[in-house]
Amino acid sequence: MNIKLETILFIFFGITTFLNFAWIIKTEKRLKRFFAGKKAKDLEENIETLEENISKLKLAKEKIEKDIVDINQKLKKSIRGLETIRFNPFPDQGSNQSFAVGMVNEDGDGVVFSSLYSRERMSIFAKPIKNGTSEYELTTEEKEVLNKAKI
């Protein structure tokens, strides 16, 4: 019985040893293929170059992310809605020479310009807009242009 156990253990260790050698030979072949035609110094230089490039990419990514935040902040304040209408405030004379122009940003801040034209004179008005409303009374045409300019 003792001999049978020794034989089984010998066969087990023999197979294990064979499998380990096969794995080592396979790994050696992979490494030779990987390092074929390369010197250790070349590989080290390539790795250093890759590390530098990765660092540069990280810096560029951080700069781009910062720029995007800045651009989005500026974009919110830029004019996003623009509308113009022409009208005739005096139906008995003239034509559609008067106008109203509304300009607002994403937050509803901006300005309404309007002009009233008659044969004797022309008047121009500017009314600031904050959160979609003005502290000054808006004419019907100014309200209309402001509503159309809102995004």
Report pLDDT digits (tens) over 125-143: 999 999 888 999 999 999 9
Sheet holding 110-117: strands in order across? Answer: 81-87, 98-104, 110-117, 122-129
* Predicted local confidence at residue 129, as pLDDT: 94
Greatest distance between any 2 Cα atoms in the chain:
128
Overall average pLDDT of the 14-19 stretch: 92
At residue 41, does pLDDT exceed 70? no
What are the residue ranges spanned by the domains of the chain?
2-75, 81-149
Checking if the pLDDT of 1 tops 60, the result is: no
CB atoms within 10 A of CB 105: 16
The two structure tokens encoding residue 85 = 């209408």
pLDDT at 65: 96
DSSP summary character for residue 130:
B
User: In the beta sheet, which residues pair with residue 101?
Assistant: 84, 113
**Residue 78 and residue 2: Cα distance in Å, rounded?**
92
